[in-house]
Structure formats: structure tokens, C-alpha cells
Structure 1
Amino acid sequence: MRSGLSQTLSGGLLAGIGALSILAFAASSPAFAASNCIKGDRKPPYKVGWANIYSVPTWMKQTEGTITKEVADLKKQGVVKDLIITDAQGNANTQIQQIQSMIDSNLDAIVVDAGSSTALDRVISDACDKGIAVVNFDSLVDTDKLTAKLNTDSNEWGRQAAQWMVDRLGGKGKIIIMNGPAGVSVSDDRRKGAQPVLDANKGIQVLTETNTEYNVAPAQEAMTSLLFSNPDIDGVLSLGGALSAGALLAFDRQGHDPVPITGENYRQFLELWKKEGVKGWATMQPNWLGALAVYTAVQALNGKDVPAYVKVPLPVIDDSNIGSYLDRSKDFPADGYIYSDFDTALFDKLLAQK
């Protein structure tokens, strides 16, 4: 999981958007109708709340940066008055209570990164009944009784990573799989997305796999242990950026030559990839999903139709463009994520608006 400044569009992301034909998707989707939940006398400047499940991870801190920057821009336009941020510290029940407090305060919009796919359904539905714009991003809830959901496709994330590995190894080789925490929707979905590709390529042998939190230290420890019992490997199918950084550090500690590896836009991983001359592939869960969530809520409050679901394309990082990401590394925390550029033109494109 996933600060931002309004910046120019990246070529790779624009290409991904074109490939997905978002305008066609929005026009054909039955969910593309008058924005859900919006009712009552709600006029700008709006009061917005962000109900966050936890704020400690760097990905979340960067995401908060995109939200506060977006709100600052909207304040200058006279569209938003206040931003209220809560931190449930990983407890879904606490997050429910905090969302209820936002409802009781009659906020105009609530954006949610959910701590549970099911536990928040009732309180989110209640917010919708009260005419509050509710936009859910990153970690999604089951209920569709809200204004919009925004996310990348985690299954596609895993599929693309696995397909790159298969292609890189020519359809034959021994690999280790590194997963995020078991039971977390993002890590589970990435792993599920990879499996059909592995099933279709019997020449790829999965020696072993592991689940660790999205953190370099436990990932390094796990890979160090795995290398003792599996020294002869051809690739690492890593489904998280900090996991990939930990794996490369373990290779270095063991004096093992690096092998092709997948990952995401975690700064340390990208730097090690370049430094070690690794053959790599990565994508990302853009931190600016938070800013897009605020923008979407405001658009809905302003009376515009927004899609009930916005599928954000997955940018690809490879040898052809890794340099452009590392050129901007100084603008991101050492333990952070170098995410793709964004601006309101991108947001309008994603919402299929002109």
C-alpha cells in the first residue's frame, strides 16, 4: 500500500489509458449514471473527510500528501472548506466509529481506504443514505452503496508480473515467489492473478513461496533463509516493492548473483535494480489514488456524473523508463514509492469527462 504534486502526464500512463479506452468503458457501463448518494442542499465550499485505516506506512504518508495537496488546490478554487483526517491505527471497528463521527458532523464527502472489505458496509451505506458522497479507493469494501470505487486491478498486477517472468525465462526455470501478508486483499489478489499464467507454463517450477509484511527487513530475512535451501534459482516473482528490495539485499549478503525479478515502484528496489544491473519489471499502486478520490467526490457534489467504478491502468516500469523514475527519486522518501506523474487532466480522463 498506497504524496503527490500536480504534475505533467507520463507517456507510459497515457498509453495505458488509451489502451483501456476509458471513454468507451464509461459510456457502455450501466453504472455510469447520475452520481449515487448525492442529495440534499450541499453547496461549496465542501467539508471533506478522509477515513484512513492507518497512517504509519510510508505509502500511506505519501497518499496523505496527495490528498492534502488536492484539497489545498480545491481550497484555492473555493470548492473545499475543510479536510478532516482520521487514523484507525489498523482497527476496523475504530474506523467505523470515525466514519460515524463524520456522518454525525454532516460532512459533504468521505473518502475511505478500508480496513475491512465487509465490516464497513453498514456505516458506508448509512453515509450514502444521508446524502454524503462516499468514495472508496485502494482497499475496497464489498458494498456498492456508495458514490464510487477507484482502484487498479490487483489480479492483472499479478498476471502481468508472472507473464513477464515467463517471457524473461523463455518459459523454463526455477523461481521463488514472494507474497505480501496472507489474508490482505491486495496481496491475495496479486497472487491469484499470477496463478493462471504459472498453470499455463509448466516449464516454470515454483520451488517455494513465502508471505511477509510489505517491509524490507522481514523480506530480506525470508529470502536469506530461502536461499540457503534453494541456492539454484532463475528468478524471483516478487509481488511487492519492499519485498523485492529485501530479496536483492539478501542476494548481495549471500554473494549470490541477482536473477530476474519483479516488483513495484519502491524507491530502494528501483535503485538496487539499476545499481546491480538487474533484469527487472515493476508496476505500481499510485499514491495519487487518494487525490483522485477527493477530486471524484467533489465532481459528484458539483452535480457531475461519475462512474461507479474507475479502473486505473497499471503503469509499467522496465529498463526503457526506469531512468525517468530515478531522475525524480530525490523528491520521494528513501523508504517511499516513486509514483507516476498526475494532474487534473488525467483525473478528468479517468472519470471520462471533458
Structure 2
Amino acid sequence: MKLRHVILAAALGLLPLQASAESKLADFPLAERIKAKVDAGQPLDIYVSYHDVSNEFAPFMKAGVARAAAEEKVNASFIGPVGADADGQISEIETLMGKMDGLAISSVSTDALAPLIDRVLAAGIPVVTFNTDNPDSKRLAFAGQDLVQSGREAGKLMAKVLGGKGKVMITTIDAAAQWSIDRETGAREALKAEPGIEVIQTLNTGTDPQKIYSAIENAMLANPDLTGVLSLECCSTPAAGTWVERNKAADKVKVVGFDLLDQTVGLVESGDIQATIDQAPEKQGFAAVDLLAKFVKGEPIADVDTGVGIYTKENIAEVAKK
């Protein structure tokens, strides 16, 4: 398969995650109250818990949730903590246990949320994960990107735009989060294969937009020989690109990041960001609800890979038009 065909297939979510067994309703002890709602033809109440509803990525997820709710004729509520707060996410879900007929969750912390996921399942409530998986739990299926693989792809892109040599800084808004750890694992794996590239640090910026930019600016001042910034998520990507733009440093510092925020798209168009990787957030939100609705209806479900869509100056116009 030619590279352009691989990229297209990934962008469309046609390249599967590692094979996973199907989950079937016949093997799951569905709560009697949920069975009664299904038998009576009443709409299900599905809750979609995202790990930080305040970040700029969340609205894309929420749009997918709303579209699936309309198509599947269920009630779907988009919930979650403001800021990456595991205790807040746990408390909110525990409060809703008696109301939810299905839970889709993107965990703030794999370790903290796995026991709760298993308790929800034990109560006869179906649970799937989305965006950030929780493989330590007994969740029924996962909808999202293979995070380690997407990190590898980002690392390969970084190596390519640097011509195989240079000093790279990795940035992330939450270095302790499982999604960040997974992406960084893949990125470092790919960069380690390039003997001419040195990763000098992982910069944990936090989630406040002004602080993200300040952290990157300070790191650039402290490391004037830095030639590459690899962002692991939506929000430090445009900050890194903005630093390049303001300092007219596109010929010296290359940026590779994630997601298709409007600012990121503009910075790819201007050449201040070399590449960004899309993970289809609207599709993730849609699949989170769709999987649960199908499962309760008796249809078998399995993991949904939303792919690795790679965008550069050559093809970013496709996004800009939308």
C-alpha cells in the first residue's frame, strides 16, 4: 500500500487497532431497570464523561455526542470535570449511577478510574471508553485513536521535517495523564531510532492558554539551539506555532503537533507549523454514544479506531474549506 493510501485510510479510520473480542449483551448482566426501559421503548439516558470539559478539544467531542443522540434517539449528556480532576470525575459519575443507562468515559487517570468503571459494570450498566482508553478496566469497547501509534507517527514526522538531526522538545498540557504518557512513549520510540536527534526535555505546560505560551517561550529562551517542538495535544500545538510566527523562526524551529483547532490550521497554512495529526474528535464522541446504544439493543460491539489523519501545508486546505 502506498504511503498516501495509508494516510488516507488512517484518516478515515480504516486501519484497525489490534484485534479485540466483540462484546455481546448476551454475556452481560444488564440491570433490570435498564431492561425495563428497553422493553418499554423508552429512550436511554447515556452519560459521556470527558476528562476535561474546559479544554478547546471538548466541543468537537460534544458535537459528535449530540449527533449520535439524535440518530439513535437516546438522551446523551456530555459531562466531566473542569480541569483534569480525577476525584471530580469519580464523584460526578458516582452521583449519577442510579440514573445512567450507559456510560462512556475518557479517564483523567487510568489507575484512579479503572475501579469505578468496574463498579459501574458490576451494577449492570454498560461502559465503553473513548478518546482515552482504560485497558486496566473491564470496559466493553474503546473508540478513539491508538495513542502510542499516533505518537510514533508524530515522532516520524518530526524526524522527517528536521532531516534526521536536531534538538527536540516535547510539550504536553498534562504529562501525568495516560493519554500523554502513551503518546510520549510512541514519540520517543520513533525519535530514538534517529541517531541525529536528541530529545532535550518534556515540558509540562498546564492547561491555561497564557501559561502554555509562557512556558514554551521560557523554554525556547533557555534552549536557543532547539530546532524542533513536538506537541502531544491540541493546545500546546498552536502555542508553539504562535511562538514561531512571532519570532519569525519558521526556518529554524519546526513544529509538529495534534488536532485541528482553527488557530492550528492557520499556522499550518502559514508554514509556522509543519504538520498536525487529527484524531477525529467528532467521530469519537459519536462512536461513544453509538456503541452503547447498539450494545443495549443487542448488537455486538468492538473497538473503533478513529485513525491518524496527517495534515501538512500541502493538504490543510481540505480542512480550511470546511
Cα gap change, 1:317 to 1:229, in 2 (>3 Å): same
Match of 2:157 in 1: 164
Deviation at 1:54, TM superposition (A): 3.6
Match of 2:287 in 1: 292
From 109, 113, 127, give the equivalent of 1:116: 109
CA contact (8 A) 2:10 2:308 kept: no
Cα gap change, 1:122 to 1:177, in 2 (>3 Å): closer
Cα gap change, 1:257 to 1:146, in 2 (>3 Å): closer
Whichever residue aligns with residue 37 of structure 1, its letter is: F
Match of 1:322 in 2: 316
Cα gap change, 1:72 to 1:128, in 2 (>3 Å): same
Moved over 4 A (4+): 11-19
Cα gap change, 1:236 to 1:66, in 2 (>3 Å): same
From 133, 140, 144, give the equivalent of 1:140: 133
Deviation at 1:214, TM superposition (A): 4.6
| 2:307 is the alignment partner of 1:313 | yes
CA contact (8 A) 1:53 1:95 kept: yes
Match of 2:257 in 1: 263
Deviation at 1:18, TM superposition (A): 7.4
C-alpha RMSD of the superposition: 2.7
| 2:267 is the alignment partner of 1:272 | yes
Deviation at 1:114, TM superposition (A): 2.0
Partner SS, residue 70 of structure 2: helix
In structure 2, the gaps of 5 or more residues are 1-5
Deviation at 1:121, TM superposition (A): 2.8
Whichever residue aligns with residue 232 of structure 1, its letter is: D
Cα gap change, 1:18 to 1:145, in 2 (>3 Å): closer
Deviation string for 1:25-53 (max 9, x for gaps)? 65xx4x22524535342514322222344
From 4, 16, 24, give the equivalent of 1:34: 24
Q: TM-score, normalised by structure 1?
A: 0.76
Between the aligned partners of 2:76 and 2:13, the Cα distance in structure 1 is: 33
Deviation string for 1:214-235 (max 9, x for gaps)? 5543332223223323333433
In structure 1, the gaps of 5 or more residues are 1-10, 329-354
Cα gap change, 1:324 to 1:103, in 2 (>3 Å): same
CA contact (8 A) 2:65 2:76 kept: no
Deviation at 1:279, TM superposition (A): 6.0
Between the aligned partners of 1:324 and 1:85, the Cα distance in structure 2 is: 29
Match of 1:176 in 2: 169
Instruction: Indicate the percent of aligned positions where both proteins have the same amino acid.
Output: 25
Between the aligned partners of 1:285 and 1:297, the Cα distance in structure 2 is: 21
Superposition pairs of residues 161-310 of structure 1, within 5 angstroms = 161-214=154-207, 216-258=209-251, 259-264=253-258, 265-275=260-270, 277-278=271-272, 280-288=274-282, 289-307=284-302, 309-310=303-304
CA contact (8 A) 2:12 2:309 kept: no
Match of 1:46 in 2: 44
Between the aligned partners of 1:103 and 1:250, the Cα distance in structure 2 is: 45
Between the aligned partners of 1:227 and 1:51, the Cα distance in structure 2 is: 36
Between the aligned partners of 1:174 and 1:21, the Cα distance in structure 2 is: 33
Cα gap change, 1:160 to 1:54, in 2 (>3 Å): closer
CA contact (8 A) 1:214 1:240 kept: no
Between the aligned partners of 2:286 and 2:216, the Cα distance in structure 1 is: 35
Partner SS, residue 317 of structure 2: helix
Partner SS, residue 48 of structure 2: strand
Whichever residue aligns with residue 316 of structure 2, its letter is: I
Between the aligned partners of 1:209 and 1:119, the Cα distance in structure 2 is: 23
Deviation at 1:293, TM superposition (A): 0.6
Count of matched residue positions in the alignment of Structure 1 and Structure 2: 305
Deviation string for 1:291-332 (max 9, x for gaps)? 21100001101101111x33332111123320011112xxxx
